[in-house]
Amino acid sequence: MKQRLSTEEYAAGVAAGDRIILAKAISLAESSLPEDQEQALALISKLTPSKNSIRIGITGVPGVGKSTFIEAFGKYITSLNKKLAVLTIDPSSQVTKGSILGDKTRMDELSKNPLAFIRPTASGNTLGGTGSKTRESILLCEAAGYDVILVETVGVGQSETSVKNLVDFFLLLMLAGAGDELQGIKKGIMEMADTILITKADGDNLKRAREAQADYQHALNLFSDNQSGWKPNVLTCSALNGTGIREVWHTIELFRDQLTQNGYLDVQRNAQRITAFHESFEHLLKNELSKFPGLREKAEALEEQVAKQGLPPHRAAAKLITLYREAVKKS
């Protein structure tokens, strides 16, 4: 039987940049066991995440080339002698709850780079393209000394919005000539993007990529001004031949400099911490409901009434709250 690491051992290992202990610490944070959750919270409270890191969210539809771009982008970042952590989110089956976790195999060269740390995670029941403990994983990677944190979302389209509450810079990858140009007129995920990147801008697709770049830039100009003062732009790149990769990093540096100078980066991270507080409260409240004897059965009975249209969903929810209050009074 393996001896369980103490919180102090975890903290020392993470602070020293030990990749094995970092991986174990992330597994600890992702665990659903109460004792693991308690230790993970104690661990994170002991660590001091870097304030100089940049958190980058990357999303895009399947086939846009997220993994290919991240490998090329990651190789460029590490060539600047910067430590890079890549947190990839794989979709979980709603039937088996399993996940392939194959992103690491699609970034073969980057995964062998000593300056890079790649961690695939299953999305679980979390919607919005991220995992339930992605925020904790980010903090652990920052405490381990990683300068750049990339969060690659599941990639299911316009619902990929929760990552915006976790990162500083939101990069949306798009394809030219795939019928997506019309989406540029709609608000949604595009409105949240700090930069749109047209991928696979090479060969016969180069002309279409440049046309799409102009179309998307025009669409962005129709949106309201960003509170941060940053004006979203549209770039093109080819991970195949390496063009446009340096320009993406240059844009991110300009973004960080501008938002650091005007103070909005701190404002944004403060707002994200508040969002995390509310999400944690809702999660804990849901767990608390299940602790009272008989309340789970009553909740299941209410679910059955809702399913059979015997009770409206909002009425059932209000009734469950009433039952919870009664259970608290009796305890």
* DSSP code per residue over 163-181: GGGT-SEEEEEE-TTSS-G
Q: What does the alpha-carbon distance between residue 20 and residue 144 come to, in Å, rounded to a whole number?
A: 11
User: How big is the chain, counted in residues?
Assistant: 331
Claim to verify: residue 80 and residue 186 sit in the same structural domain: yes
Band of residue 192 on the pLDDT scale cut at 50, 70, 90: confident
Domain check: are 74 and 145 in the same one?
A: yes
Does residue 266 fall inside a structural domain? yes
Do 91 and 133 belong together in one domain?
Answer: yes
Please give the torsion angle defined by the CA atoms of residues 222, 224, 226 and 227, in that order, rounded to the nearest 10 degrees. 170
pLDDT attached to residue 289: 79
DSSP 221-243: HTSPPPTTS---EEEE-BTTTTB
Q: What phi and psi values does residue 121 have, to the nearest 5 degrees?
A: -140, 145
Confidence of residue 179 (pLDDT cuts 50, 70, 90): low
Residue 261: what pLDDT?
Answer: 96
Q: Establish how many alpha carbons lie within 13 A of residue 220's alpha carbon, considering only the half-sphere containing its beta carbon.
A: 22
Q: What CATH number is given to the structural domain containing 9?
A: 1.20.5.170
Domain count, the chain: 3
Indicate the pLDDT class of residue 4, thresholds 50, 70 and 90.
Answer: confident
pLDDT above 90: percentage of residues in the chain:
56
Give yes or no: residues 182 and 156 share one domain.
yes
pLDDT at 94 over 50: no
Q: What's the average model confidence in pLDDT over 260-283?
A: 91
User: How large is the average pLDDT for residues 125-140?
Assistant: 69
Asked whether the predicted pLDDT for residue 183 surpasses 60, the reply is no
Q: Is residue 283 part of a domain?
A: no
Residue 249 domain flag: yes
Residue 33 in domain? yes
Q: What residue type is assigned to position 294 of the chain?
A: G
Residue 99 pLDDT > 60, yes or no?
Answer: no
Q: Is residue 265's pLDDT more than 60? A: yes
| C-alpha to C-alpha distances, 242 to 8, 237, 239, 245, nearest whole angstrom | 43, 7, 5, 6
Which residue segment(s) compose the domain that 202 sits in?
A: 48-272
What Cα–Cα distance (Å) separates residue 138 from each residue in 4, 53, 54, 265, 322? 23, 10, 10, 16, 37
The first and second tokens of residue 34, run together, are 């109460």
Q: What is the pLDDT of residue 130?
A: 46
Do 190 and 296 sit in the same domain of this protein?
Answer: no
User: Using CA atoms, how far apart are residues 241 and 258, in angstroms rounded to an integer?
Assistant: 30
**Does residue 280 fall inside a structural domain?**
no
Q: How far is CA 265 from CA 132, 202, 220, 255, in A?
A: 23, 34, 21, 10
Tokens of 39: 């230790």
Instruction: Indicate if 221 and 257 belong to the same structural domain.
Output: yes
Are both 62 and 24 inside the same structural domain? Answer: no
Three-state secondary-structure class, residue 271: helix
Token pair for 289: 């409901």
Q: How does 278-314 read in b/e, with b if 16+ C-beta sit within 10 Å?
A: eeeeeeeeeeebeebeebeebbeebeeebeeeebeee
- 201 in the same domain as 305: no
241 within domain boundaries: yes
Look at residue 306 and tell me whether its pLDDT is greater than 70.
yes
Residue 327: the pLDDT is 86
Q: Report yes or no: 70 and 107 within 8 Å, Cβ to Cβ.
A: yes
| pLDDT tens figures, 227-238 | 899 999 999 999
- Determine, yes or no, domain membership for 144: yes
Residues 259 and 307 in one domain: no
Residue 172 has pLDDT above 50, yes or no: yes
Dist CA 73 CA 71 (whole Å): 5
244, 272, 300 - which closes a domain:
272
Task: Confirm whether 152 is domain-assigned.
Answer: yes
- Give, in order, the Cα–Cα distances in Å from 252 to each of 100, 101, 211, 276: 31, 28, 23, 24
CATH number at residue 104: 3.40.50.300
Same-domain status, 326 and 259: no
Q: Are residues 184 and 68 in the same domain?
A: yes
Question: What is residue 226's predicted lDDT score, i.e. its pLDDT?
Answer: 84
Mean pLDDT of the 56-79 span: 92
Instruction: Compute the half-sphere exposure of residue 65: CA atoms within 13 Å on the CB side of its CA.
Output: 19
Name which residue leads in pLDDT, 122 or 307: 307
Same domain, 54 and 11: no
Beta bridge partners of 1: none
